[in-house]
Structure 1
Amino acid sequence: MITSSANARVKQVMNLSKKVKARKTSGLFVTEGLRMFKEIPADRIDSLFVSEDFIKDEAHKRLLAGMKYETVSREVFKVMSDTQTPQGILALVRQHAFRTEDLLAAPGPAFLMVLENIQDPGNLGTILRAGEGAGITGVLMSETTADIYNPKVIRSTMGSVFRVPFVYTEDLPASLKALKAGGVRLYAAHLNGRNNYEKEDYTVDTGFLVGNEANGLTDETAALADACVKIPMKGKVESLNAAVAASVLMFEAARQRRG
């Protein structure tokens, strides 16, 4: 049993939770909790840690039968955990590298979310989770978007991070031009949209562009859209949270495609 927070494995977990560089260098990320553990593809688990209390439960012992894991004292597990109420199970998971082609590999018309400089981990995770529910085929992100392997993002995805293809691009304008050349029609969520969002046709190959929480899309990115669309507002509200706006657009596309 690991009983010291100075243990090298404990330090590794803490580094991976806190530092983007550590995640990029190692190709690993941290997931916590029983539900997230059940979502992890078995071949991507690098190592597994459980608290001394967790493994006393017979149901948990049966769940982990045949698997290798390290038991950690109650106090040390609290140090390792990134949550206020640790559930007692934590895994280091191998990252998976998707390609741009993977975003377009699903049968039927493409259905993409394109994110520029989204910074809030909760927003990014929620967009992935809502996107899976709406049926998106993938997510394309600028390199300035938050790290998808941040523990807060991972928790917000509720497992969708293991099922929705995603790619970071160093040159977002070039990637958008390539999508357009391939027949994907791009719609920018923009306060100056020419139409309300429900007036456009999303049954064709479609990509939605959503920008930074505070500043929206850059002018360069918005200019590459085939159309800018807006979500009409009542009251004194000028705009929606990025994840909420993305969800409105995605589920309108899902509604049209069901029809």
Structure 2
Amino acid sequence: MITSTANQKVKRLVTLKKKRKARDEEQIFLAEGLRMFREVPGDMLRELYVSEAFYEKERELVDRKAGEAGVFPEVFSEQVFSHVSDTRTPQGVLCVVRRREEMSCEELLRPDQEGRKPLLMVLDNLQDPGNLGTIVRTGEGAGVTGIFLSRDCVDLYNPKTIRSTMGSIYRMPCLYVDDLPELLREMKKKKIQTYAAHLEGRTDYDREDYTGGCAFLIGNEGNGLRREVAELADTYIRIPMEGEVESLNAAIAATVLMFEAGRQRRRK
């Protein structure tokens, strides 16, 4: 059992927690908590760290998952585990996870393996880790087939983002792109309809048809979509508001749109 925060493995975990560059270099991310541990695919689990108390309570689960992945569970004292944890009340289990192989842009613009027409999210300069994680999680539940992110979006592999996905990060295809306008032009060629959630929208979101290939554009929390991105959308849509509310949080707005598309597709 490791009992010192000066241990090199402990120092490395702290670096991975804090520094995007370190995570990118190793092409990994940290997944913390019981649910994230239960759902991690065996072929993605690279390292496993548990607190002494967690190991005593969940030894059977830990040994089984570790055996399936071919890794050795490293046990930390409670103090050391709190030191590497990214939460105030650690659950006692932390995974180092290999990132899933990225799908190409071309693959995401085609029907998926289940034959579903593309239902895509395009995120422009989103900055809140919780918003991004929620969109990834909700997207899986609504039947989204892929998520595109502008290069200046918040880090998908930020520990807070990962935690907010509640496991969907293991399954939802996501891809950073350098040029969103070029992506939208490519979507036009593929006859994928693009809808910008925009304050200038004149069409209520639930009056459009999302049963074909389509993509929703969601902008920065404070500034919305950049003009050069919004101008390429086929349609501006809005979510009608009562009272004095002008707009919704980015993740909530995305949720409303995604589930409307999912509802229409189930009825088709």
TM-score (norm 1): 0.97
Aligned to 2:86: 82
Aligned to 2:73: 69
Say yes or no: does 1:226 pair with 2:226. no
Secondary structure of the residue aligned to 1:12 is helix
Deviation at 1:17, TM superposition (A): 1.2
Aligned to 1:21: 21
Q: Tell me how far apart the structure 2 counterparts of residues 223 and 111 of structure 1 sit (CA, whole Å).
A: 20
Partner AA of 1:62 in structure 2: E
Deviation at 1:185, TM superposition (A): 0.6
Aligned to 1:93: 97
Partner AA of 1:171 in structure 2: D
Give per-residue Cα distances to partners, 1:121-157, cap 9 Å, x unaligned.
0000000111111100010000011111111111111
| Alignment: residue pair count | 257
Aligned to 1:3: 3
Instruction: Return closer, same or farther for 1:6/1:102 CA change in 2, 3 Å cut-off.
Output: farther
Instruction: Return closer, same or farther for 1:44/1:152 CA change in 2, 3 Å cut-off.
Output: same
Q: Spell out the pairing of 1:50-199 with structure 2 (5 A cutoff).
A: 50-57=50-57, 60-65=58-63, 66=67, 67-98=71-102, 99-103=104-108, 104-106=110-112, 107-199=115-207
Cα contact 2:196–2:235 (8 A) shared by 1: yes
Aligned to 1:35: 35
Deviation at 1:194, TM superposition (A): 2.5
Deviation at 1:18, TM superposition (A): 1.2
Deviation at 1:105, TM superposition (A): 4.4
Cα contact 1:111–1:135 (8 A) shared by 2: yes
Give per-residue Cα distances to partners, 1:149-169, cap 9 Å, x unaligned.
111111111111111100000
Q: Tell me how far apart the structure 2 counterparts of residues 193 and 105 of structure 1 sit (CA, whole Å).
A: 28
Deviation at 1:35, TM superposition (A): 0.8
Partner AA of 1:94 in structure 2: R
Q: Could you tell which deviates more after superposition, 98-107 or 37-46?
A: 98-107
Q: Tell me how far apart the structure 2 counterparts of residues 74 and 176 of structure 1 sit (CA, whole Å).
A: 49
Structure 1 stretches lacking a partner, 5+ long:
none
Deviation at 1:234, TM superposition (A): 0.9
Cα contact 1:188–1:209 (8 A) shared by 2: yes
Secondary structure of the residue aligned to 2:43 is helix
Q: Tell me how far apart the structure 2 counterparts of residues 194 and 114 of structure 1 sit (CA, whole Å).
A: 20
Cα contact 2:111–2:117 (8 A) shared by 1: no
Report sequence identity in percent.
Answer: 54
Q: Tell me how far apart the structure 2 counterparts of residues 247 and 63 of structure 1 sit (CA, whole Å).
A: 34
Give per-residue Cα distances to partners, 1:48-81, cap 9 Å, x unaligned.
1011111112xx1111223511111110000000
Deviation at 1:92, TM superposition (A): 0.5
Deviation at 1:102, TM superposition (A): 3.8
Aligned to 1:256: 264
Partner AA of 2:125 in structure 1: N
Give per-residue Cα distances to partners, 1:210-243, cap 9 Å, x unaligned.
0000000001000110101011111111110000
Q: Tell me how far apart the structure 2 counterparts of residues 22 and 233 of structure 1 sit (CA, whole Å).
A: 43
Secondary structure of the residue aligned to 1:43 is coil
Deviation at 1:180, TM superposition (A): 1.7
Cα contact 1:194–1:227 (8 A) shared by 2: no
Q: Tell me how far apart the structure 2 counterparts of residues 39 and 149 of structure 1 sit (CA, whole Å).
A: 17
Instruction: Return closer, same or farther for 1:110/1:29 CA change in 2, 3 Å cut-off.
Output: same
Q: Could you tell which deviates more after superposition, 62-71 or 47-56?
A: 62-71
Instruction: Return closer, same or farther for 1:173/1:193 CA change in 2, 3 Å cut-off.
Output: same
Partner AA of 1:35 in structure 2: R
Cα contact 2:219–2:226 (8 A) shared by 1: yes
Structure 2 stretches lacking a partner, 5+ long:
none
Q: Could you tell which deviates more after superposition, 48-57 or 111-120?
A: 48-57
